[in-house]
């Protein structure tokens, strides 16, 4: 059994607090590092929020865990068994961070990246620590989605991969091993869906609101319980073969991002963060919307975990 005792998360941002709350609950002494004191203040509030969600999930709690906030990188990583880099999606920045981690963290520490798509091989290129650099891609929100992609680079040790998988499974999350591919598996599937979704809305085939209803109830509801390859078996490979033989020819193969998105980006309509994207938002309603969505995810996760024995 892997016995990580201390973890460090480098960069608090969107996902750091949720990851920290999960690791603290798994019994680890957990450091959250950021160079910005305001970011650490936000992270404190984020950890409290994520911990409350974990309480509502009745997530198991291993004694001995703790959370510490630091603006000193050496302090954050000097005792770490596991370091998780979660800085901006910039290759040069990540390479610099890992250069510092190799110098400051213990020689046996696993050095993981939460990158959502930059190849681990590129991040580890030229690093003396390449055998212990690995992808550990959490799904957002990390305290609610209990699945982590484990991605080896060309030089990543198989032992590091196996130990990380074992550790993830030890606190009740699903660990998925993947070969390295741009975007990793989860985001590739998601972006394939989003490409078709955006094109159909842009063509006027369906409204954006009806599209969201269609996907949530017609696809998402099923896929939460039945995996896509299980779905092919359930429907029949002959049916998939028949429909796919004509439908695949009509699906979007666009290699650029739709103007439905790029035009809004140019206008500064970036989504909830700017109170407008595809939908419009009221600042007073965003917090309530987040709470409502969290409650639904909690209910779905409880239902799915309660059904594990019957799979």
Instruction: Find the angle CA(127)-CA(80)-CA(1) to the nearest 5 degrees.
Output: 100
Write out the two tokens for 68.
């510490």
**pLDDT, position 19:** 98
- The confidence band for 309, taking pLDDT boundaries of 50, 70 and 90, is low
The whole-angstrom separation of Cα 299 and Cα 311 is 18
Contact 121, 98 (CB under 8 A): no
Where are the domain boundaries for CATH 1.10.1040.10 in the chain? 185-280
- The confidence band for 79, taking pLDDT boundaries of 50, 70 and 90, is very high
Q: Is the pLDDT of residue 87 over 80?
A: yes
Q: Is the pLDDT of residue 311 over 70?
A: no
**pLDDT, position 287:** 86
- Global pTM reads 0.92
Q: State pLDDT tens for residues 120-134.
A: 999 999 999 999 999
Which residue is it, tokens 């680079």? 153
> Containing H/E element for 67?
strand 66-70
**pLDDT, position 284:** 86
Q: Is the pLDDT of residue 31 over 70?
A: yes
**pLDDT, position 270:** 97
Distance from chain centroid for Cα 80:
22
Contact 66, 29 (CB under 8 A): yes
In the CATH scheme, what is the code of domain 6-182? 3.40.50.720
For 185-280, CATH number out of 1.10.1040.10, 2.40.340.10, 2.40.110.10, 3.90.650.10 equals: 1.10.1040.10
**pLDDT, position 2:** 72
Q: State pLDDT tens for residues 158-204.
A: 999 999 999 999 999 999 999 999 899 999 999 999 999 999 999 99
Where are the domain boundaries for CATH 3.40.50.720 in the chain? 6-182
The whole-angstrom separation of Cα 172 and Cα 60 is 9
- The confidence band for 305, taking pLDDT boundaries of 50, 70 and 90, is confident
* Cα 242 to Cα 44, 109, 239, distances in angstroms: 53, 51, 5
Q: Is the pLDDT of residue 100 over 90?
A: yes
- The confidence band for 91, taking pLDDT boundaries of 50, 70 and 90, is very high
């Amino acid at each position: 059994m892997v016995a990580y005792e201390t973890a460090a998360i480098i960069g608090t941002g969107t996902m750091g607090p949720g990851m920290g709350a999960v690791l603290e609950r798994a019994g680890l002494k957990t450091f959250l590092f950021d160079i910005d004191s305001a970011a650490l203040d936000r992270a404190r509030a984020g950890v409290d929020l994520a911990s409350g969600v974990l309480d509502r999930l009745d997530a198991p709690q291993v004694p001995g865990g703790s959370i510490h906030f630091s603006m000193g990188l050496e302090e954050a990583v000097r005792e770490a068994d596991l370091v998780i880099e979660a800085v901006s999606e910039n290759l040069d920045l990540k390479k610099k961070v890992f250069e510092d981690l190799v110098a400051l963290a213990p020689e046996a520490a696993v050095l993981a990246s939460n990158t959502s798509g930059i190849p681990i091989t590129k991040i580890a290129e030229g690093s003396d620590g390449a055998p212990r650099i690995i992808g550990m891609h959490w799904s957002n929100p990390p305290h609610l989605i209990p699945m982590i992609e484990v991605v080896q680079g060309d030089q990543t040790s198989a032992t590091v991969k196996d130990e990380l998988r074992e550790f993830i499974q030890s606190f009740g999350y699903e660990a998925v091993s993947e070969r390295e591919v741009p975007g990793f598996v989860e985001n590739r599937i998601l972006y394939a869906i989003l490409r078709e979704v955006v094109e159909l809305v842009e063509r006027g085939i369906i409204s954006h609101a009806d599209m969201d209803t269609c996907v949530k109830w017609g696809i998402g509801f099923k896929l939460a319980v039945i995996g896509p390859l299980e779905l092919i078996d359930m429907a029949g490979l002959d049916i998939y073969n028949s429909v796919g033989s004509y439908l695949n020819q009509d699906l979007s193969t666009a290699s650029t991002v739709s103007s439905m998105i790029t035009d809004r980006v140019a206008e500064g309509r970036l989504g909830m963060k700017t109170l407008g994207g595809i939908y419009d938002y009221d600042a007073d309603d965003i917090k309530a919307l987040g709470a409502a969505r969290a409650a639904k995810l909690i209910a779905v996760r409880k239902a799915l975990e309660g059904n594990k024995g019957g799979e």
